[in-house]
């Protein structure tokens, strides 16, 4: 019978093997926990932020621009603006005046979506434009291109539709504009009268008849920019 004790080298090798096995087990356990744990709060917020930034692309245009939008009537109560049409084009250039287009390009404009609405009294046309930017910082930079005084130029170009009540809604008809910003989006409006009179031909200005334009733009912006926390139990989200 050989009762010789193992040498120091063998003992050290055995100990090292044990340590490695334990380390591997701990690492495997940590990896398994990482794979099976649910998303953290910060990860959920990041996912919600990404989802907001992609709504201009993932949402149906009819969801971004509903068939009608509510606004406050001059005489009190609520009325609704009706959608005339939605542009199939989303290029940033051509959707706004050239001076503003340069700023949008520098800010990384991803798209400009446009739709035209008419007020309940059928007297005022409004084009609403959604400008999608990479993030909030870029959106704030792009916002500086548009006057906040209500002047329509430089601003959104009106969207006319041949054979409709909006067929005469051309750039000279613009009388009022607006700009709103939240998250990575700007929502612009430009408004004018249905009869196609150029702004310079209009006598006394009545800014109150255009006030609803900014109001309906705020509805569009709120829907687009309000985050929604992911629901991991819903098939709409992949957590």
Residue in the block written with tokens 């001076």: 99
Q: Is the pLDDT of residue 41 over 80?
A: no
Tell me the average pLDDT of the chain.
Answer: 84
Spacing of C-alpha 149 from chain mean position: 23
At what angle are helices 98-106 and 136-143 packed, to 10 degrees?
A: 160
- Which structural domain range is residue 130 located in? 62-225
56 within domain boundaries: no
Report yes or no on 86 lying in a domain: yes
Number of domains in the chain: 1
CA distances from 11 to 1, 3, 64 (A): 21, 16, 71
Among the listed residues 191, 184, 192, 182, the one whose alpha carbon sits nearest the alpha carbon of residue 222: 182
Q: Express each pLDDT in 185-239 by its tens digit.
A: 999 999 999 998 887 766 666 678 999 999 999 999 999 999 986 666 666 656 5
For residues 4-33, average pLDDT: 40
46 belongs to a structural domain: no
Is the pLDDT reported for residue 20 higher than 90? no
Does residue 57 lie in a domain region?
no
Does residue 217 lie in a domain region?
Answer: yes
Domain assignment present for 37: no
Residue 195: closest CA among 217, 216, 215, 175: 175
pLDDT in tens, 79-119: 999 999 999 999 999 999 999 999 999 999 999 999 999 99
Contact 156, 99 (CB under 8 A): no
């Amino acid at each position: 019978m050989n009762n010789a004790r193992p040498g120091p080298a063998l003992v050290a090798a055995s100990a090292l093997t044990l340590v490695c096995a334990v380390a591997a087990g701990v690492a495997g356990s940590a990896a398994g926990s990482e794979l099976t744990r649910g998303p953290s709060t910060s990860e959920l917020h990041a996912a919600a932020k990404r989802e907001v930034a992609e709504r201009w692309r993932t949402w149906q245009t009819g969801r971004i621009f509903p068939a009608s939008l509510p606004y406050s009537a001059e005489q009190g109560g609520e009325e609704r603006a009706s959608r005339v049409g939605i542009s199939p084009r989303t290029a940033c250039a051509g959707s706004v005046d050239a001076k503003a287009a340069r700023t949008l390009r520098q800010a990384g404009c991803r798209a400009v979506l446009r739709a035209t609405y008419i007020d309940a009294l059928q007297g005022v046309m409004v084009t609403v434009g959604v400008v999608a930017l990479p993030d909030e910082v870029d959106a704030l930079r792009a916002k500086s291109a548009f006057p906040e005084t209500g002047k329509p130029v430089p601003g959104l170009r009106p969207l006319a539709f041949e054979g409709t009540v909006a067929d005469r809604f051309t750039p000279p008809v613009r009388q009022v504009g607006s700009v709103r910003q939240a998250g990575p989006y700007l929502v612009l409006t430009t408004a004018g009268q249905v009869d196609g009179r150029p702004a310079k031909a209009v006598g006394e200005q009545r800014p109150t008849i255009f006030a609803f334009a900014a109001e309906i733009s705020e509805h569009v912006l709120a829907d687009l920019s309000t985050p929604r926390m992911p629901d991991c139990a819903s098939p709409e989200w992949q957590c």
